[in-house]
Amino acid sequence: MLLHNVSLKPYNTFGIDATAARFMPLTAIEQLAALPSAPPYYLLGGGSNILLTQNIGEDKIVIHNQLKGITTVAEDSESVVINVVAGENWHQWVCHAIDKGWCGIENLALIPGTVGAAPIQNIGAYGCEVADVIESVFYWNFNTQSIESLTAADCQFGYRYSVFKRMPADNKVLITSVNFKLYKNKQPNVSYNALTDYFKAHQVDSPTVRQVADAVIAIRQSKLPNPAITGNAGSFFKNPVISLAHYQRLIAHYPNMPAYPSAEQMKVPAGWLIETIGYKGYKKGNAGVHSKQALVLVNYGGATGAELLSLAKEIQQKVYAQFEIALETEVQIW
């Protein structure tokens, strides 16, 4: 069922008021079979990774994925494979796994969005990536009008990357569900510095899955704005990866610059770069940079997508001018 001239303000965490000329709430796979394969589609889940810069015209259909379901596929004494349908809320799925005592996604608690979006950019936080626990991804292929699947290896996961990222916003596939393999008796990963420090301060030597999730939630809430209060899409930029030679040149001028090995390169925190050029807490009209986390752009109320995009480009230009590092957006620009 197609709806017409629908405001997308409730469907994006930036709170940008844009209109979709054609909008379809997707509640059953059968609806996809009824759609033509030719028109481009904008695929919308939780709206936590998009910046709307214009109205979506009649030439596109915005599909809001509302498919739901959680099913056990396989289980033994050590692990469980669960199929989770793409429209499920990501954090609620994490909470479900924690309630069951399953280990593997607790470090990814409180990440906004839906399950279907998780593999697209290989979401990650606090030392874990969703690729670590994905077995396979199922998707609707608009060209073949059928559900197909890829193994985790075929998804070509990398840092905030998957084969699905190669596809433009009007892509020809829609993720329908994901198979996750989680563990029953595995020790949670607390190697990330923020978690190590947290549990040291709380004198916890062997935290449970629930304790790790609670720690992640507490840390995230202390640093990141609540999109229900202040419009944002979490991390706006990816942490750039630079060559060792580039890193050596920069460290000579910025000895306190943090960096982490990534294969034979170095990953530099984008938030540090943005803070160093003086943009942490910066405000321009109703758009700005969060005062506690420079990686987060915020809508203070009434900002347009164009204003936020202009600020993002300004930051990119200043970072490149000072560090010769090209920041890439993690957020999709519509």
pLDDT in tens, 92-145: 999 999 999 999 999 999 998 999 999 998 999 999 999 999 999 999 988 888
Write down the pLDDT at residue 161. 86
330 is catalytic: yes
Is the Cβ–Cβ distance between 180 and 133 less than 8 Å? yes
264 is catalytic: no
106 is catalytic: no
Is the Cβ–Cβ distance between 196 and 190 less than 8 Å? yes
pLDDT in tens, 17-47: 999 999 999 999 999 888 876 667 888 888 9
Catalytic pick among 88, 129, 307, 330: 330
How far is it, in rounded angstroms, from Cα 165 to Cα 333? Answer: 13
Q: Could you tell me which of 1, 88, 10 has the C-alpha nearest to residue 52? A: 10
Q: Are strands 50-51 and 173-183 parallel, antiparallel or unpaired?
A: unpaired
Can you tell me the mean pLDDT for 62-78? Answer: 95
Q: Could you tell me which of 225, 231, 226 has the C-alpha nearest to residue 302? A: 231
Helix or strand (DSSP H, E) at 223:
helix 209-223
- pTM equals 0.84
pLDDT greater at residue 263 or residue 174: 174
Write down the pLDDT at residue 98. 96
Catalytic pick among 106, 129, 235, 307: 235
Catalytic pick among 79, 149, 160, 275: 160
How far is it, in rounded angstroms, from Cα 11 to Cα 170? Answer: 18
Can you tell me the mean pLDDT for 38-66? Answer: 88
pLDDT at 168 over 60: no
DSSP secondary structure letter of residue 159: T
